[in-house]
């Protein structure tokens, strides 16, 4: 997420920013903090830092769940309500090329890496992360089947990518059945590979 925070506030129509002007993030890894956009109780859009990774369903170990595919599962149903949906702003994302020794491959909407959002969910959680036992705000995002471009690199899945204000509004506010219609791959011609190998993101 390499765009300046002011730009993200404007693009996603954020009313209240609690990220303390967090600098651009050229890489975001699981269990790290990143800015999310959600709706507060007054109906205003709030941006705040959350940690990537939900607690897993019972009896499935302790490794945080970073993405959600099977939204019909009872475990996820409650977190798919509008009050627990969020937008995960991004400018590119990385998949590891399974055909070339897991070479990092970066995808974006175009060479200028215009911002988009993943369809995310969030929750409060009390437990230990990064050695700190406290109340955390956690997020994960939805995935779907890979489109033709991503499939050549990572066949299993790709993030649910939202690119317009209408999609952002629907994900944050529509009833659950309507919002889940957005869980589909972005057409391959809407994405491009912008880098391979060592990360090349700049603070654009």
Mean pLDDT, residues 73-78: 93
Quick check: is 177 in a domain?
yes
Quick check: is 175 in a domain?
yes
* pLDDT of 204 higher than 50: no
Distance (Å, rounded) from C-alpha 97 to C-alpha 104?
6
Mean pLDDT, residues 169-186: 98
Report yes or no: 36 and 79 within 8 Å, Cβ to Cβ: no
pLDDT attached to residue 203: 42
Quick check: is 202 in a domain?
no
Please, which residues have CB within 8 angstroms of residue 61's CB and are 6 or more apart in sequence? none
- Number of structural domains (the chain) is 1
CB atoms within 10 A of CB 105: 22
The chain-wide mean pLDDT, for the chain, equals 92
CATH number of the domain bearing residue 134: 3.90.1680.10
94-98, 129-133, 197-201, range with the lowest pLDDT:
197-201
- Percentage of residues in the chain having pLDDT higher than 90: 77
Q: What is the DSSP string of 51-91?
A: EE-BPPPTTS-SPPB-EE--TTSHHHHGGGSGGGEEEEEES
Quick check: is 204 in a domain?
no
Mean pLDDT, residues 45-52: 96
Q: 132 is in which domain, residue-wise?
A: 5-24+33-196
Helices (H), the chain: 5-11, 74-77, 148-151, 165-173, 176-179
Comparing C-alpha atoms, which of 47, 30, 128, 144 is closest to residue 86? Answer: 47
Read off the pLDDT of residues 162-176 as tens digits, 9 standing for 90 and up. 999 999 999 999 999
Read off the pLDDT of residues 76-93 as tens digits, 9 standing for 90 and up. 999 999 999 999 999 999
Adjacency order of strands within the sheet including 93-97:
93-97, 103-108, 192-196
Quick check: is 125 in a domain?
yes
123, two tokens: 């929750």
Quick check: is 15 in a domain?
yes
Is residue 62 packed enough to be buried (19+ CB in 10 Å), middle (13-18) or exposed (0-12)? Answer: exposed
CB atoms within 10 A of CB 55: 18
Quick check: is 90 in a domain?
yes
Distance (Å, rounded) from C-alpha 9 to C-alpha 121?
19
Quick check: is 81 in a domain?
yes
Report yes or no: 6 and 19 within 8 Å, Cβ to Cβ: no
111, two tokens: 């060479």
Residue of 142 and 203 predicted with greater confidence: 142
53-67, 74-88, 149-163, 164-178, range with the lowest pLDDT:
53-67
4-18, 103-117, 135-149, 186-200, range with the lowest pLDDT:
186-200
- pLDDT band for 131, please (50, 70, 90 cuts): confident
């Amino acid at each position: 997420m390499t765009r300046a925070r002011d730009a993200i506030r404007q693009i996603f129509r954020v009313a209240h920013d609690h990220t303390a002007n967090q600098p651009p993030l050229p890489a975001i890894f699981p269990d790290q903090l990143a800015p999310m956009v959600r709706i507060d109780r007054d109906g205003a859009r709030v941006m705040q830092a959350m940690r990537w990774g939900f607690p897993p369903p019972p009896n499935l170990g302790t490794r945080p769940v970073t993405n959600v595919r099977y939204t019909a599962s009872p475990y996820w149903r409650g977190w798919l309500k509008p009050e627990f949906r969020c937008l995960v702003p991004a400018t590119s994302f990385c998949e590891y090329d399974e055909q070339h020794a897991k070479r990092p491959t970066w995808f974006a909407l175009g060479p200028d890496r215009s911002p988009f959002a993943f369809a995310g969910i969030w929750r409060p959680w009390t437990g230990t992360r990064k050695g700190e036992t406290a109340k955390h705000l956690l997020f994960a995002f939805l995935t779907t089947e890979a489109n033709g471009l991503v499939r050549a690199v990572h066949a299993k899945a790709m993030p649910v990518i939202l690119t317009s204000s209408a999609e952002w509004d629907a994900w944050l506010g529509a009833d659950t059945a309507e919002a889940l219609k957005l869980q589909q791959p972005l057409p391959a011609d809407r994405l491009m590979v912008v880098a391979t190998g060592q990360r090349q993101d700049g603070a654009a």
